[in-house]
Amino acid sequence: MFDPVSLWMQSSLVWIKIFKQQQEMYLRMLGSVAQSFPHENAAELSREAEALKHTLTPAGRGVEARPVSRPAPKSAAGTKALASA
| Cβ atoms within 10 Å, residue 10 | 10
| pLDDT for the residue numbered 27 | 94
Q: Residues with Cβ < 8 Å from 65, sequence gap 6 or more?
A: 54, 57, 59
Is residue 45 within 8 Å of residue 39, measured between CB atoms? yes
Handedness of CA 18, 23, 24, 30 (dihedral sign): positive
Distance CA 38, CA 6 (A): 51
Say how many CA atoms lie within 13 Å of 48 toward its Cβ: 10
Give percent above pLDDT 90 in the chain. Answer: 24
pTM (2 decimals)? 0.41
- Mean pLDDT across the stretch 29-44? 82
Reported as a single tens digit per residue, the pLDDT across 1-18 is: 678 888 889 999 999 999
Asked if pLDDT for residue 24 goes beyond 80, the answer is yes
